[in-house]
Amino acid sequence: MMLWILLALLALTALLPLGYALLKPGAARGRREADMALYRAQLAELDRDREVGRLNEAEHRAATLEVQRRLIAAADRTEAAPTTGRGAVMLLALPGLLAVAGLGLYLLRGTPGMPSAPYTLRAEAQARDDQIMALMRARVAALDQGTEQARRGWILLGNAERGRGRADAAIEAWERAATIRLDANIAGDIAELELERGNAAAAEPWITRGLAAEAADPRLRFLAGLIDAEGGRAAEARAKWQALLTDTPADAPWRAMLERRLSDLP
């Protein structure tokens, strides 16, 4: 019995930070909406590229699936909101209730003697994934590197590596695709991933190159302003975002986000 009491106390201790986090003031809203707006803009841009012949059906379908995956992931993210009064009290009690409920379910349904998945099994699964990716990389590298087939292969490989959380490998694959033919989508993907890693200096040249290829691309123009804003250059960010806002249709899904970003500048 003492063992279960000790486990309950440990569970409560582990959940205390959750209770504290729930009672803290909510985080600023807007990142989820901004991401979703940007991904919707990318989908619209892909449709335009297909219409003007820059993408065939296969390229359009592959790129659309990747953007839709990111859109779904962004939609699944939740943003915190401040809680006060009775709601705060309920949230404060929630960690304890979860611990008690979890302990009860474990006593009824749990299997204490079941071992966890050994490290060797997890390592084997990782090794299989690495082997598959290495095979894909070898096959793409064996293609004629001046063809659109090779370019599409590097793009898909970069998308897969990004999904695995391997930013360096994703960027390397996208850079290989860019050497065949650079467009705003590749430049934006590389710049976006570099910014996610906090590497604005590496992102900026790709934004510049992408805008040289497609000066009207809204994602690249937004990211250019974002670099200025995060670098403390509010005037430059305002000028870029205001110009983008002027060119943005009234019904564009990212317009509200852009207006809010402008109003948040000092």
Q: What is the pLDDT of residue 199?
A: 94
Q: What are phi and psi of 116, to 5 degrees?
A: -75, 165
Residue 10 gets which letter from DSSP?
H
Give me the sign of the Cα torsion angle 219, 223, 229, 233.
Answer: negative
Q: 14 is written with which tokens?
A: 């582990």
| 225-259 per-position pLDDT tens digit | 999 999 999 999 999 999 999 999 999 988 999 99
Which H helix or E strand runs over 190? helix 184-196
The predicted structure's pLDDT at residue 131: 83
The string of DSSP letters for 127-140 reads: HHHHHHHHHHHHHH
What tokens appear for 194 in the block? Answer: 């570099």
Region for 114 from its dihedrals, namely left if φ exceeds 0, alpha if ψ lies in -120 to 50, beta otherwise: beta
Q: How far apart are CA 84 and CA 86, in angstroms?
A: 6
Cα separation, 63 vs 176, in Å, equals 17
The pLDDT > 90 percentage for the chain reads 43
pLDDT at position 155 over 70: yes
- pLDDT for residue 69 is more than 90: no
Low-confidence winner among 11-20, 48-57, 182-191 (lowest mean pLDDT): 11-20
Whether 208 shows a pLDDT value over 70: the answer reads yes
Instruction: Quote the CA–CA distance of 46 and 66 in Å, as a whole number.
Output: 11
Q: Could you tell me the pLDDT band of residue 164, with boundaries at 50, 70 and 90?
A: confident
Does the pLDDT value for residue 211 go beyond 50?
Answer: yes
Q: What is the pLDDT of residue 56?
A: 73
CB atoms within 10 A of CB 24: 11
> pLDDT averaged over the chain?
77
Position of tokens 């990716």? Answer: 133
**H or E element, residue 158:** helix 148-163
Enter the pTM of the model: 0.57
Residue 99 has pLDDT above 80, yes or no: no
**Residue 102: pLDDT band by 50, 70, 90 thresholds?**
low
Lowest mean pLDDT among 7-21, 110-124, 149-163: 7-21
